[in-house]
Homo-oligomer: A and B are copies of this chain.
């Protein structure tokens, strides 16, 4: 599961705001609404393996749980209405309550949120300009990414998050929702790349296999060579006659085959 933890510094903890002025009197709730949308929405679908935990002014936690979530729409106003409704339901409550399907509201502080995540086996990671580059960092399973809203992390936030690993999305300063979109994109890509490599061509000369591998890598396509000795009636392997399979990521397959075709010969795919 991917979790996003949003620390909101100005958004109200009481439901007395108007949906007609989200950036103003509603304390930039529009920032949170866009972040929620970025976390959950696919084109005409919802990411069910996502949880968004919002902390309002270090007092109120609103959790949106993808696998149970209903009534979430992509526009800001309807999402703000769900938050407003959650805050209405919290009035007079001590324990966590479910305000609408998949949305849970309670009174929590940041250290309590971090503790809860550890207890669930999640791995907190702070998205921070000064962190290690995301693409080179090894993101743990079950990550919980901490992000701030339109303001920087407060000194209290920084203190509570001081011991957590930090990763960065580069030097361009982005909106919270944009960071979430990019994190999803990079993790989706990593997951695709972890899948099995596929064969794009096979040759019978080791040297030619290396030529093709080098060519593909010049085009930015990583390739592996797999040697495969076919069953034979001969009790010995004739050197230089073993089959070499050139393996690439599924997303590179079509382009790799085009390149091989342009430079060498029509690719063999079995």
Chain A contact residues, CB within 8 Å of chain B: 19-20, 22-23, 30-31, 34, 37-38, 41-45, 73-78, 132-133, 135-136, 150, 169-175, 177-178, 181-182, 184-185, 188-189, 192, 219-221, 251-252, 254-255
Contacts and interface: CB of A to CB of B under 8 A. Distances in A.
Nearest to A30: B75
Given A170-B189, A188-B170, A74 B133 contact: no
B133 A251 contact: yes
A20 B23 contact: no
Tell me the dominant secondary structure on chain A's binding face: mixed
16 contacts: A19-B20, A20-B20, A23-B73, A23-B75, A38-B178, A44-B173, A76-B77, A77-B77, A132-B254, A133-B255, A136-B255, A169-B185, A170-B188, A171-B251, A172-B185, A178-B185
A180 B75 CA distance: 17
A78 B23 contact: yes
Given A37-B175, A172-B188, 4 more contacts: A19-B20, A136-B255, A170-B192, A171-B192
A75 to B, nearest CB: 4
Contacts of A255: 132-133, 136
As for how many copies of this chain the complex holds, the number is 2
Contacts of A135: 220
Nearest to A73: B23
Q: Which of A75, A132, A255 has the most CB of B within 10 A?
A: A75
Contact of A133 (B34, B41, B182, B252): B252
B185 A41 contact: no
- Name the residue in A44, A178, A192 with the highest tally of chain B Cβ atoms < 10 Å from its Cβ: A178
Given A136-B252, A170-B251, A172-B188, A74 B34 contact: yes
B77 A173 contact: no
Contacts of A41: 175, 178
Contacts of A150: 43-44
Contacts of A22: 75, 77
A175 B182 CA distance: 13
B74 A136 contact: no
B170 A43 contact: no
Contacts of A31: 74
A57 to B, nearest CB: 20
A188 B171 CA distance: 9
Contact of A182 (B37, B74, B78, B181): B181
